[in-house]
Amino acid sequence: MAESVKKRSEIEEQDTWKLEDMIESLEKFEELMDGVEERIQEYEAYRGKLGNSAEYLKNYLTYDESVDETLSLLYAYAMQRRDQDTSVSENQALVSRVQSLAVKAMAASSFADPEILSIPDEKMAEFLASPELAHYKKQLERLLAKKAHRLSEKEEAILAAASEISGTPSSVFALFNNADLKFEPVKDENGELVDVTHARYGKLIESRDRSVREAAFHSLYASYRQFANTVAANYEGNVKQGNFYARMRKYPSARAMYLAGNEIPEKVYDNLIESVHNALPLMHRYMKFRKSYMNVSELHMYDLYMPLTEDYEKTYTYKEAQELILKALKPLGEEYLNLLRTGFENRWIDVYENEGKRSGAYSNSAYGVHPYVLMSFDGTLNSVLTLAHEMGHSIHSWYSNANQSYTYAGYRIFVAEVASTCNEILLLNYMINEAKDRKEKFYLVNQLAERFRTTLFRQALFAEFEWETYKLSWNGTPLTKDLLCGLYHELNSEYYGKETVIDSDIDHEWERIPHFYMQFYVYQYATGFSAAMAIARRILAGDTETKDGYFRFLKGGCSRTPVELLKLVGLDMEEPEVVNEAVKVFKDLLDEMEELA
């Protein structure tokens, strides 16, 4: 009989996040919704007057910001209620209602940016020099930098209204992937049927029993294969809407538009792909080593996640995971550790899997409220690392929110993965140093090498796939199932090399990647990993300048560009050296594994 997943009501309260800290009740949620609905009407009073004076413009920006802050809080609450159990239609409706309200606000405020941009340059220069607008100067300068890409007031209103439609592919994917898609049960190591879920797949694919890995792999991708045409059409819709907005705003590509939104030069993206391509011989060497160590005649894609050390099995309770993380992150100081303890003890975290719970893990933060973490802890080392990773996001958010106003608290996506990955690296380094024997050390060194494979190389593969599909669609090529699967197969062949059998099931992996619906996001895992590797190594070496710079970085929000923020820690992301430095560490790990084997 298949092992069942608990219902939400069966999870202990202390293992669920405390959403009441965000919004105390559904009644309060409705009150806030009504308040925003009323406040949206006030936008019209500002129309045509933003150039009257610096003080008037400041009043508008303060008002607009307050509406946005409440909408962000409402969306965070609705999204988290939905994600804790996606089968509850009432929670799905909450998200839809907030999105619709946000679209109303966007439409009502759509006059503002074109109106601000129409203020004569000389007058705007006076505004920017005035004390009234000192707080908003950086925000206004960022808007002025996009002047060439802004449209007329009428056109902006149309695009704002269309944004509700443009989010459909992402919404469709989320419901399909988390609520509707089902997988065939498989037999575990004991011959008993177990359900295959998104959360359990990670554990099954690491099984020492190859038949379990293969069965889970096939179960997962057989389901995606059935819907490949549908998912391809949905993904193409997502790509097309991205390209549509880029064309409307006169960008040379969707990538240029999305990277500009985060103030990232495109050469950062190109440097990453080039550096990773140059390092592919190391990936091929790793695959050859894995194949030899596993003593298999063929290395399949379902063999890549099994820990290499035979008979090394270790699981962790949730409490043990917390204690381990606290020990590993001691180099960051007592203040950081106290924030972690606060999160662990005060229900910031939704810990375990339940029926209908969104797959994967994330940290979410609404301004003025402590951050939250969603995950599905299953006792594996990967779960411990996930907890450290997501709490890295949360503490980064806490520092940014505590040290910046709402205007500048929300850090850019480009730097979002630095703090989280730094935590992971510190944890693995601690565990390697504390290893009790050669076998345990080899296992942990292999785990860190796997972080390179899955975060630097695999995310670069995703980034290359995404960029290629956007270019194809931009030039009028239909993104059919066969094209997408073929492209994905070719990239896997190139990245994993001739030592690896590129099973046809893996051709459908692109169908299950949620971040493809967050345009040009995935490359930042790879760049963030590279930056985090440099920061962690320097902090562990006792570099106080890097440590001090790291906390300035955590507190910086978006008060500077991402590139400027990382320069506080001594890293220049516009040069290839940061990624190349990470690649050298990967080589050292391969050398160490070969020596320990």
Residue 299 is inside which H or E element, if any? Answer: strand 299-300
Confidence of residue 309 (pLDDT cuts 50, 70, 90): confident
Contact 466, 520 (CB under 8 A): yes
- Residue 5 one-letter amino acid: V
Report if residue 228 sits inside a domain: no
Helix axes 121-129, 54-84, angle to 10 degrees: 80
> Among residues 239, 189, 234, which one has the least CA distance to residue 210?
189
> Among residues 514, 526, 524, which one has the least CA distance to residue 238?
514
| Residue positions annotated with a catalytic role | 390
Report if residue 157 sits inside a domain: yes
Q: Is the pLDDT of residue 476 over 60?
A: yes
Q: What angle do CA 43, 44, 50 make, to 5 degrees?
A: 75
Report if residue 201 sits inside a domain: no
Q: Is the pLDDT of residue 312 over 80?
A: no
Report if residue 63 sits inside a domain: yes
Measure the CA–CA gap between 531 and 552, rounded to whole angstroms: 15
Q: Is the pLDDT of residue 310 over 60?
A: yes
Contact 55, 323 (CB under 8 A): no
**What's the whole-number mean pLDDT along residues 27-41?**
97
Measure the CA–CA gap between 459 and 462, rounded to whole angstroms: 5
What pTM, to 2 d.p., does this model score?
Answer: 0.83
Q: What angle do CA 509, 510, 511 make, to 5 degrees?
A: 85
> Among residues 434, 431, 445, which one has the least CA distance to residue 588?
445
Tens-place pLDDT, residues 138-147: 999 999 988 8
Tens-place pLDDT, residues 78-117: 999 999 999 899 999 999 999 999 999 999 999 999 899 9
Contact 532, 421 (CB under 8 A): yes
Query: For residue 147, what pLDDT is reported?
Result: 86
Confidence of residue 279 (pLDDT cuts 50, 70, 90): very high
Say how many domains are in the chain: 1
Confidence of residue 311 (pLDDT cuts 50, 70, 90): low
Confidence of residue 233 (pLDDT cuts 50, 70, 90): very high
Residues 6+ apart with CB under 8 A from 562: 262, 263, 264, 411, 412, 414, 415, 573
Residues 6+ apart with CB under 8 A from 242: 254, 257, 258, 470, 519
**46: domain CATH number?**
1.20.140.70
Average pLDDT of the residues of the chain: 94
Measure the CA–CA gap between 258 and 518, rounded to whole angstroms: 10
Query: For residue 156, what pLDDT is reported?
Result: 82
Report if residue 72 sits inside a domain: yes
Domain that holds residue 137: 8-166
Q: Is the pLDDT of residue 178 over 60?
A: yes
Query: For residue 2, what pLDDT is reported?
Result: 47
> Among residues 37, 57, 38, which one has the least CA distance to residue 47?
57
Tens-place pLDDT, residues 397-454: 999 999 999 999 999 989 998 999 999 999 999 999 999 888 889 989 998 999 999 9
> Among residues 61, 36, 42, which one has the least CA distance to residue 143?
61
Confidence of residue 550 (pLDDT cuts 50, 70, 90): very high
Specify the length of the chain in residues.
597
Contact 244, 470 (CB under 8 A): no
